[in-house]
Structure 1
Amino acid sequence: MLSRQRWTLELRHLRYFVAVAEARSLKLAAEEKLHTTQPSLSRQIRDLENEVGAALFLRGTRGVELTAAGRVFLDHARVMLSQAETAVQSVRQIANPTKPYFSLGFMIGHDSTWLPKTLQILRDELPNIHVVISTQNSPQLAAALSQGLIDVAFLRREDGGPGLEYSLIIEEPFEVFLPKDHPLAAQSVIKAKEIVGETFLSVSGTALSVSGKPPALRLAIDRYLKERGLDIRPSHEVDNLGGVMSLIASTRGIALLPAYAKTFLPDSVTTRPLQGCSPTIDLSVGYRRVNSSATLKLLLSRVDELVAEVPNHA
């Protein structure tokens, strides 16, 4: 009984933390998102910080700002909440199959771009459909697809096994992410060779991998550097984009990331395009080949419409 109460409390703390991080204000999060009092919310956040052993927010007169530890924790908190919600909804659907059920997966940071129009397409055709949303990192989404936990996902072309199919949506360009006061930030564009000798940061080759193989994002970064003949190896690796941003700020390092990663930019970090032909990485719709869902077939038939109607794909 104690274990169950503790798990419920932890999920509640995570929801409170994400709400405050997104609102950037304890007052707004308490009144508009959580419908609780600010003093009560402040206590819950302090309890969470005590539990994890680190300050997650910097408090100021204009609100709150995530610390470096908070930015890393935010990615993980969103993944844990998404996984918990998916598990609960899956069980409820099995126990009470009253509505058509469909599970969508989105990469963290891409959900705000592709989710609204995707839901509109589904609900225009199937107004009574019950949709469950899972927001995770790309390798985790590939694993969830392979295991049949979700029906379709917006992700990279991961090596998730022979049963997965991918349909390309867009190619995303890479940019250079670096501290705002870095000397290279004074330039409008950056040459790839100018990165040589800098502290180079990258996503982990194994931390997010379920298959044991590097994630597609890491492979794309390494491939670009190799094609340019640049002998650059990461000084630090981290398993989420929030962590990369924190390392840029703390180590004054440089990273190559897809443009959508600007979603995670702290105030101290900026971006610049690469000179010449920029490398790209795919964003695809992934699904299991054996999935015979009529809803999946409907969504796949409307992918071109989806791409055309999402502005700037960013």
Structure 2
Amino acid sequence: MIELRHLTYFRTVAETLHFGRAAALLHISQPPLTRQIAALEKELGAQLFDRSKRSVQLTAAGKNFYRDTTEIFKALERARHNVITSSTGKSGSLKVGFMMSSAYNILPSVTRHYSAAFPEVDMRLSEYVPNLLATDIEDGKVDVGIMYRPEDCSRLDSLTIFSEPLLAVLPKYHPLAGKPAISVAELAEDSFVSIPRTIAPVVFDIIVNHCQSNGFRPRIKLEANLQQTIVNLVGEGLGVALVPASMQAMHLDTTVFKPLIKAPMVEVAVIWNKENRNPCVRTFADTAVEVWRKVKPAAYK
């Protein structure tokens, strides 16, 4: 039976055309090497070398065998490379979920840098609302997510990328539109457009708690699952809203964004299941944190 060591012996002799030098490279003595080559020739039923006292040459069969075994060793090297890279997160596949607001700040830079650093990772992106993303991460349908930190992290690991303040978004002609900054208490009589608590409980609670700490509970007139939809509805004059600072990137002509006095903060994090052993998860999480340090906008510094 032909073993890998027989092929290694054969290729070393073929490349040196000298049994003594080949034996030295292989760290064995010459007689066992000679016997192993003879056993290989017997197994193949073909002479691989023409031997004389002065020289060793490959036969036609030996040249063909050398060419064919080259492919075997290339395949072995690929296999070795794949094992190393897949175990270190340098190759493989990665399913990434993201909430839409991250597309206005961190997501484009992270995916661009990660794809450049790990070109052998097959990365697939899917847009989610926060609560469904957390559920799919827990269920193993998604490897990693960029999202607001979930209410229940008991089955999840996380790495905070950044925290961002909430801003007030107002219709363009709102009475407070000309002020440089406002207190949320000044919106006590306004109707609010909000994300439902079932979709993003952490953000919903931060908004309600901030209003209550300023003396009122917000009158929620409309609810929408996506932050950009909320901003659009505000622009249509259907209420006011508190949204993450990143939503300023929408640049709508119908709305104005105003800093809040003592603005509450929301954390954006990389989230993954504690039981997920995909090594690409950690390389993605580390890339997200590192990229944000380099590219974060001045408003976050």
The answer to whether the Cα contact below 8 Å between 2:235 and 2:254 also exists between their aligned partners in 1 is: yes
> Contact 2:208–2:217 (CA<8 Å) still a contact in 1?
no
Using the aligned pairs only, state the percent identity: 23
**Contact in 1 for aligned 2:171/2:236 (Cα 8 Å):** no
What's the CA shift for 1:147?
1.7
Task: Please name the residue that 1:96 is paired with.
Answer: none
**What is the number of equivalent residue pairs in this alignment?**
209
2:271 aligned with 1:279: no
Counterpart in 1 of 2:283?
Answer: 298
Helix, strand or coil: the match of 1:133? strand
The answer on 1:150 being equivalent to 2:149 is no
CA deviations 1:98-134 (Å, max 9, x no partner) are x711111221132353334433553455332111111
Residue 143 of structure 1 contacts residue 160 of structure 1 at CA under 8 Å; is this kept in 2? no
C-alpha distance in 1, partners of 2:164/2:267? 6
Deviations 1:254-283 (A, max 9, x none): 1111111224453211111112x2111110
* Residue among 213, 219, 223 paired with 1:233: 219
Q: In structure 2, what residue type is equivalent to 1:142?
A: A
Please identify, of 134-143 and 111-120, the stretch whose mean Cα deviation from structure 2 is larger.
Answer: 111-120
CA deviation after TM superposition for structure 1 residue 298, in Å: 2.3
Aligned partner of 2:253 among 234, 247, 267: 267
Residue 133 in structure 1 maps to residue 118 in structure 2: no
2:174 is equivalent to residue 182 of structure 1: yes
Question: What are the Cα deviations for residues 84-106 of structure 1, in whole angstroms up to 9, with x where unaligned?
Answer: xxxxxxxxxxxxxxx71111122
Write the letter of the residue equivalent to 1:282.
E
Report how far residue 293 of structure 1 moved: 1.3
> Partner residue of 1:257?
243
Q: Secondary structure at the match of 1:183?
A: coil
Name the residue aligned to 2:63.
Answer: none
What pairs with 1:190-205 in structure 2 (closer than 5 Å)?
190-205=182-197
- Mark the structure with the bigger radius of gyration: 2
Q: Equivalents in 2 of 1:115, 1:176: separation in Å?
A: 23
Shift of residue 248, structure 1, vs aligned partner: 1.5
TM-score normalised to structure 2 length: 0.63
1:1-314, aligned counterparts within 5 Å? 100-111=92-103, 113-159=105-151, 162-206=154-198, 208=199, 215-275=201-261, 277-312=262-297
Once residues 120 and 235 of structure 1 are traced to their aligned partners in structure 2, the CA distance between those partners, rounded to angstroms, is 39
Change (3 A) 1:200 1:117: closer
Worse overlay, 166-175 or 240-249: 240-249
Structure 1 residue 286: Cα displacement: 0.3
Give the Å deviation of 1:311. 3.0
- The alpha-carbon deviation at position 150 of structure 1 amounts to 1.4
Deviation at 1:302, TM superposition (A): 4.0
Q: Is the 8 A contact 1:113 1:310 kept in 2?
A: no
Aligned AA for 1:233?
A: R
Q: Normalization by structure 1: what TM-score?
A: 0.60
Offset, 1:178: 0.5
Q: Residues 129 and 220 (structure 1 numbering): CA distance in 2 closer, same or farther, change over 3 Å?
A: same
Classify 1:263/1:136 alpha carbon distance in 2 versus 1 (closer, same or farther; 3 Å). farther
Two-structure CA RMSD over aligned residues (Å): 2.3
Q: Is the 8 A contact 1:176 1:255 kept in 2?
A: yes
Contact 2:146 2:271 in 1 (8 A): yes
1:181 CA displacement: 1.1
SS at match of 2:236: helix
Task: Identify the residue that residue 11 of structure 2 maps to in structure 1.
Answer: none
Q: Which residue of 2 aligns with 1:72?
A: none
Amino acid at match of 2:244: P
